[in-house]
Chains A and B, each alone.
Chain A
Amino acid sequence: MADRAEVVFVDGVRTPFGRAGEKGMYWNTRADDLVVKAMIGLLERNPKVPGERIDEVAIAATTQSGDQGLTLGRTAALLAGLPKSVPGYAIDRMCAGAMTAVTTVGAAIGFGAYDLAIAGGVEHMGRHPMGSGVDPNPRFLSERLVSEDALNMGATAERIHDRFPEYTKDRSDRYALHSQQKVAAAYAAGKIQPDLVSVAIRSEQGWGLATRDEAPRPETTLEGLSALKTPFRPFGRITAGNASGLNDGASACLLASGAAAKELGLTVKMKLVSFAFAGVEPEVMGLGPVPSTEKALRKAGLSITDIGLFELNEAFAVQVISFLDHFGIDDDDPRVNEYGGAIAIGHPLASSGVRLMNQLAHQFAEHPEVRYGLTAMCIGLGQGGTVIWENPHFNRKAK
């Protein structure tokens, strides 16, 4: 029998997130190169980790084809210069790809199968637009397994507004504005940059270097937001301003068993407490984090009041509001998304999970009074994912 082990988050990095499309900064950068550069940055930040000790590389992507295909974990490991003895695989749970990579290899570490593993994700939504090449089974619609809205994420968000009329467009816009402001403040305070790995980018104007997220709009105003079009239905509520955008980016993190981290002298940023995934009706997929969080809390034997910091993926403002509302948390609660979220930073689907973890880890170090935090996100086709983490810096006497 393998020995059960404690699972720790040692470190995580990501590339700056770019805007998808021809004008985006990564248009001429391959998807696999993005995640490889994140992995190289991660390994260079952790020189005490011997490459050959890494037992697994799990890399997620939603659209696994072309430069984002070919068993990404294995190919990225080879391209990042890891020894050929290091195995790897690809993983997909749409938006929660990187999160699932973390929970899957984390579970294997917990089981005692691995000592060290890399988990991450990449989504180049410019080169691989959402839904490209998909061929949904006609039964989904003919047997009404899902509503027609289920495959259109904006439409699912409109459905949440329908279900909860008290979540107004104005409330979503205010949430979105706040997210932009928090990201701007976090950048100004240098909270985000430490976990970014710069990427050389090629353009018509020659080589450049991506050092910051491309999507944030610090100049955003409420007036501006209110004037935006609602592309998913006439007089709707979902706009480009209160939703995450279409983005390119990659992330990677290093997980270890507690014993391996100790043996190699690695600093522990977070400890894995529990995780859960849960399903909801696909046409209101944004509600997914509610049941997944309840499940994860139950597994951990914790209640929502034990959670001191939240990193919630902001696929749509309304979807975060629904989560906060369910758990009785204010829209502007300071424990939630302290550095802002995906509405400003962007959401390259399968890479976002590790971004949430990087930011939570950074906040843990700054908040020794907090013992538990969680990362959660909604997932296309009606799912939610939640990971609960413990702060190793926790100090009962703090503040």
Chain B
Amino acid sequence: MTDYSALDFSELVALSGDEVVTHSFVRDVPLSGSRTLALVTLDNGRDHTRPNTLGPVTLLEFAATLDGLAERAARGEIHGVAVTGKPFILAAGADLGKVSEIPSLATGKLLGQLGHHALGKLSTLGVPSFVFINGLALGGGLEIALNADYRTVDASVAAVALPEVSLGLIPGWGGSYLLPNLIGIENALTVIISNPLKNRVLKATDTVELGIADVLFGSAAFLEHSIAWADGVIAGTTTVARPNKPGKIERLVKWDAAIGIARRMLESRIGTVALSPYIALDLLKAAKSGTLEEGFEREDDSLAALIAGDQLQASIYAFNLVQKRAKRPAGAPDKKLARPITKVGVIGAGLMASQFALLFVRRLQVPVVITDLDQARVDKGVAYIHGEIATLQSKGRITADEGNRLRALVTGTTDKSNFSDADWVIEAVFEELGVKQDVFAEIENYVSPEAILATNTSSLSVEKIGAKLAHPERLVGFHFFNPVAVMPLIEVVNTPQTNETTLSTAMVIAGKLRKNAVITRDTPGFVVNRILAKLLGEAMHAVDTGTPFEVVDGAIAPFGLPMTPFELLELVGLKVGAHVLDTHHAAFPDRFFESDNLHKLAEHGKILERDAKGKVTGFDKTAKKIVAGGTTPMTGEEILRRIEDGLADEIKRMLDDGVVHAAEDIDLCVILGAGWPFQMGGATPYLDRVGASERVFGGTFHTPMIRGVASEVPVTL
């Protein structure tokens, strides 16, 4: 077994020179019967916007603190140890800032071992240990609690979670062993595997129901109640039940079956490219038997391999894009330039327009007026919006008063003069240049010269849409992704005429809609559609040349995308898909394929064969017949190479052309707008690491490449 106390962690300490250290402060608290509780507070000295994190210096200080307390316990000076955090925060997990600088597999392994070294001491103090989960407890933060004997939780904690697998990690400081042995395998699978994939976190009540926390207390006197409860446990007057702790039968009968079910769920949900969820699954399976020490060692090995691999590095890159770059969009003008929006006009009353209206009224809480060609369409749109508001109300998402407020704010009209005092007008009419040009030209007769005009076009030139405007400087592209309420990205299209006020307003409004906005130039397909058109065009081209659908699917599988090209085509609609390919082919005829077959498939209506529940079971027989006839089928390798190189080429061109500011923005767009996985880092880290960038333009998007050290040293998982 590993003797953690004999390991030399100085290499990690040397790497973390600028660590914001979370200190372990200790104060004695008197308990009943003249007993004493040593209360450890984790506090990095910053406010709640800079949560406690657990870096090497932090962990060594924590370990030394616990060593001191173990000595005091042995002398009979203290009768229990409790750990809690600073206000609102227990700890937000491992400090991952330096993971990209870890120079070797062995150093990576030390990171896991240091966590076990420090946190593991909570179970060997000689007196009962408690963690009072007073606030945010993520990853390693929650693992502190899992290593203790008992846990209380504050009713108002913002989030408790083990999100590691979504980041290309595994719970590696005891979580993968301790959690299933505390709350049962099925609950542990939910927390460690399912929830991270859905970006779901636990609330305080969930932690008690699952059996993670033993008891919940209100936040008004959380610490006082937790101390009193610990007093009772130490005194023996409070007994703690652990109904979810797995027994013999669960281990014999349920455990492996639950793992099997989870594995199949994972395979169908995310495919088999992402490594960490499957490694976590293996760890959970192994946690069924054996000792804690063995569990810790398995975690050490797994963590080391993941840290050395490419996926974790790409995931951390992607995480930082989503968490940081998305919040400070590149090229965004000063927010102070933005015009206040007190009324919104929506041109169109169809489904898309109605979804816009709903989103704007919910988030901006200003009057929203919708218009269309006739009263019947308008009424239908308003009725739809009112229905959606009623649904929100029935789900308890908004109160009756809020429902009334929102309903009163939404009106419909065929009289465009009602737009005269709107500050922001967005159109969602038919995707045809002439139609959009006329719509805006007409509305300009009614609105003020400063009112911002926004178009949701996905394929037309925003500048051309504004060709008939007297004031084209107030026009901006504002491209949503479907479904509007769910997808977090808006491409804000900045034309040569768009002025700073307009651009700033668009960025501020996107933020108020709680969307992440990326500024793009007014080039065909902007970012997401151009990249998807490349991918889908290549996929259809392969089909058109005679490659079976199955081979195309298999060829792209190494990406680990959330859905196959044909599923994606069906999702956006085959007609829309064919149109997207056409427009890109028209714009870049030498690089983008159009596909007659796709038009035929659109006429037919489907590509995939599905069962009654809508699950894909194969390819539609007629669809296969429609595309039959190609004479030069490609192999999977050829297709993969074409797509990788094609994407590297297209993205390089986009960057050279200044479509966005940097490769990071491309990656952010495909992550948020197309759901491309963290393990790819979006697109460019993947294209670098498979050599596509080198092959296509003799360089890389990132220098150094976003890779693990294992790219130099072979690692077996």
Q: A interface vs B, CB < 8 Å?
A: 36-37, 40-41, 79-81, 197-200, 202-209, 211
Among A37, A202, A203, A205, the residue within 8 A (CB) of B220 is A37
The reply on B334 being an interface residue by CB < 8 A is no
Residues of B within 8 A of A208 (CB): 27-29, 39
The reply on B41 being an interface residue by CB < 8 A is yes
Q: How far is the CB of B485 from chain A (nearest CB, A)?
A: 32
Q: How far is the CB of A245 from chain B (nearest CB, A)?
A: 23
Q: In the complex, A41→B221 CA distance in Å?
A: 9
Residues of B within 8 A of A205 (CB): 25-27, 41
Q: In the complex, A41→B224 CA distance in Å?
A: 10
Among A37, A81, A199, A206, the residue within 8 A (CB) of B43 is A206
Is there contact, CB below 8 Å, between B220 and A36? Answer: yes
Is there contact, CB below 8 Å, between B221 and A40? Answer: yes
Known: A81-B218, A211-B30. A206 touches B40 (CB 8 A): yes
Q: In the complex, A79→B222 CA distance in Å?
A: 13
Binary contact track B27-50/A, C-beta < 8 Å → 1, others 0: 111100000000111010000000
- Interface contacts (Cβ under 8 Å), in number, total 54
Among A37, A80, A200, the residue within 8 A (CB) of B227 is A200
Is there contact, CB below 8 Å, between A209 and B220? Answer: no
Residues of A within 8 A of B28 (CB): 208
Is there contact, CB below 8 Å, between B220 and A207? Answer: no
B202-238 interface (Cβ within 8 A of A): 218, 220-224, 227-228
Q: In the complex, A211→B37 CA distance in Å?
A: 13
Q: How far is the CB of A384 from chain B (nearest CB, A)?
A: 35
Q: In the complex, A36→B219 CA distance in Å?
A: 12
Could you give 8 example pairs across A and B, Cβ below 8 Å?
A40-B220, A206-B41, A207-B27, A207-B39, A207-B41, A208-B39, A209-B224, A209-B227
Residues of A within 8 A of B27 (CB): 203, 205-208
Residues of B within 8 A of A198 (CB): 224, 227-228
Interface SS of chain B: strand
Among B26, B40, B224, the residue within 8 A (CB) of A37 is B224
The reply on B84 being an interface residue by CB < 8 A is yes
Q: How far is the CB of B483 from chain A (nearest CB, A)?
A: 37
Q: In the complex, A207→B40 CA distance in Å?
A: 8
12 additional A-B pairs beyond A37-B220, A40-B220, A200-B224, beta carbons within 8 Å, are A79-B220, A80-B220, A81-B218, A197-B224, A202-B41, A202-B87, A203-B27, A204-B25, A206-B40, A207-B39, A209-B223, A211-B30
- Number of contact residues on B: which range applies? 20 to 34
Residue of B nearest to A209 (CB): B29
Residues of B within 8 A of A80 (CB): 220
Q: In the complex, A205→B45 CA distance in Å?
A: 11
B391-410 interface (Cβ within 8 A of A): none
Q: In the complex, A230→B570 CA distance in Å?
A: 89
Is there contact, CB below 8 Å, between A207 and B221? Answer: no
Q: B interface vs A, CB < 8 Å?
A: 25-30, 39-41, 43, 84, 87, 218, 220-224, 227-228
Residues of A within 8 A of B26 (CB): 205-206
Is there contact, CB below 8 Å, between A206 and B25? Answer: yes
Interface SS of chain A: mixed
Residues of B within 8 A of A81 (CB): 218, 220
Give the top 9 A-B pairs by smallest Cβ distance, nearest first: A206-B41, A206-B25, A200-B223, A208-B27, A209-B29, A207-B41, A205-B25, A40-B221, A200-B224
Q: How far is the CB of A147 from chain B (nearest CB, A)?
A: 45
Q: In the complex, A79→B218 CA distance in Å?
A: 11
Residues of A within 8 A of B25 (CB): 204-207
Is there contact, CB below 8 Å, between B221 and A37? Answer: yes
Residues of B within 8 A of A203 (CB): 27
Q: In the complex, A79→B221 CA distance in Å?
A: 11
Residues of B within 8 A of A209 (CB): 29-30, 39, 223-224, 227
Q: How far is the CB of B697 from chain A (nearest CB, A)?
A: 55
Is there contact, CB below 8 Å, between B218 and A207? Answer: no
Residues of A within 8 A of B224 (CB): 37, 197-200, 209
Q: In the complex, A34→B223 CA distance in Å?
A: 14
Q: How far is the CB of B167 from chain A (nearest CB, A)?
A: 30
Q: In the complex, A234→B249 CA distance in Å?
A: 83
Q: In the complex, A198→B228 CA distance in Å?
A: 10
Q: How far is the CB of B90 from chain A (nearest CB, A)?
A: 12
Is there contact, CB below 8 Å, between A200 and B40? Answer: no
Which among B26, B43, B87, B221 has the greatest number of chain A C-beta atoms within 10 A? B221
Among B30, B43, B218, B221, the residue within 8 A (CB) of A200 is B221
Residue of A nearest to B25 (CB): A206
Residues of A within 8 A of B39 (CB): 206-209
Q: In the complex, A81→B221 CA distance in Å?
A: 11
Residue of A nearest to B43 (CB): A206
Residue of B nearest to A197 (CB): B224
Q: How far is the CB of A251 from chain B (nearest CB, A)?
A: 16
Q: How far is the CB of B213 from chain A (nearest CB, A)?
A: 18
Known: A36-B220, A37-B221, A200-B227. A207 touches B84 (CB 8 A): yes
Residues of A within 8 A of B220 (CB): 36-37, 40, 79-81
Q: In the complex, A204→B23 CA distance in Å?
A: 11
Residues of A within 8 A of B87 (CB): 202
Q: In the complex, A209→B87 CA distance in Å?
A: 15
Residues of B within 8 A of A197 (CB): 224
Q: In the complex, A173→B29 CA distance in Å?
A: 34
Q: In the complex, A7→B27 CA distance in Å?
A: 43
Residue of A nearest to B42 (CB): A206
Residues of A within 8 A of B30 (CB): 209, 211
Residue of B nearest to A200 (CB): B223
Which among B26, B43, B84, B220 has the greatest number of chain A C-beta atoms within 10 A? B220
Q: In the complex, A36→B222 CA distance in Å?
A: 13
Q: How far is the CB of B42 from chain A (nearest CB, A)?
A: 8
Q: How far is the CB of A377 from chain B (nearest CB, A)?
A: 29
Q: In the complex, A151→B411 CA distance in Å?
A: 63
Residues of B within 8 A of A40 (CB): 220-221
Residues of B within 8 A of A36 (CB): 220
Q: In the complex, A278→B187 CA distance in Å?
A: 67
Residue of B nearest to A80 (CB): B220
Residues of A within 8 A of B84 (CB): 207
Q: In the complex, A207→B223 CA distance in Å?
A: 9
Residues of B within 8 A of A199 (CB): 224
Which among A37, A199, A204, A206 has the greatest number of chain B C-beta atoms within 10 A? A206
Residue of A nearest to B27 (CB): A208
Q: How far is the CB of B118 from chain A (nearest CB, A)?
A: 17
Q: In the complex, A198→B230 CA distance in Å?
A: 14
Residues of A within 8 A of B227 (CB): 198, 200, 209
Q: In the complex, A209→B222 CA distance in Å?
A: 12
Q: In the complex, A206→B220 CA distance in Å?
A: 18
Q: How far is the CB of A74 from chain B (nearest CB, A)?
A: 16
Q: How far is the CB of A16 from chain B (nearest CB, A)?
A: 12
Q: In the complex, A205→B28 CA distance in Å?
A: 10
Q: How far is the CB of A3 from chain B (nearest CB, A)?
A: 35
Residues of B within 8 A of A79 (CB): 220
Q: In the complex, A208→B227 CA distance in Å?
A: 10
Residue of B nearest to A79 (CB): B220
Q: In the complex, A204→B43 CA distance in Å?
A: 9
Q: In the complex, A200→B84 CA distance in Å?
A: 12
Which among A36, A81, A200 has the greatest number of chain B C-beta atoms within 10 A? A200
Q: How far is the CB of A101 from chain B (nearest CB, A)?
A: 21
Residues of A within 8 A of B40 (CB): 206
Residues of B within 8 A of A41 (CB): 221
Residues of A within 8 A of B222 (CB): 200
Residues of B within 8 A of A211 (CB): 29-30
Q: In the complex, A80→B87 CA distance in Å?
A: 18
Q: How far is the CB of B358 from chain A (nearest CB, A)?
A: 30
Q: How far is the CB of A371 from chain B (nearest CB, A)?
A: 35
Residue of A nearest to B82 (CB): A207
Q: How far is the CB of B259 from chain A (nearest CB, A)?
A: 40
Q: In the complex, A121→B527 CA distance in Å?
A: 62
Q: In the complex, A44→B223 CA distance in Å?
A: 15
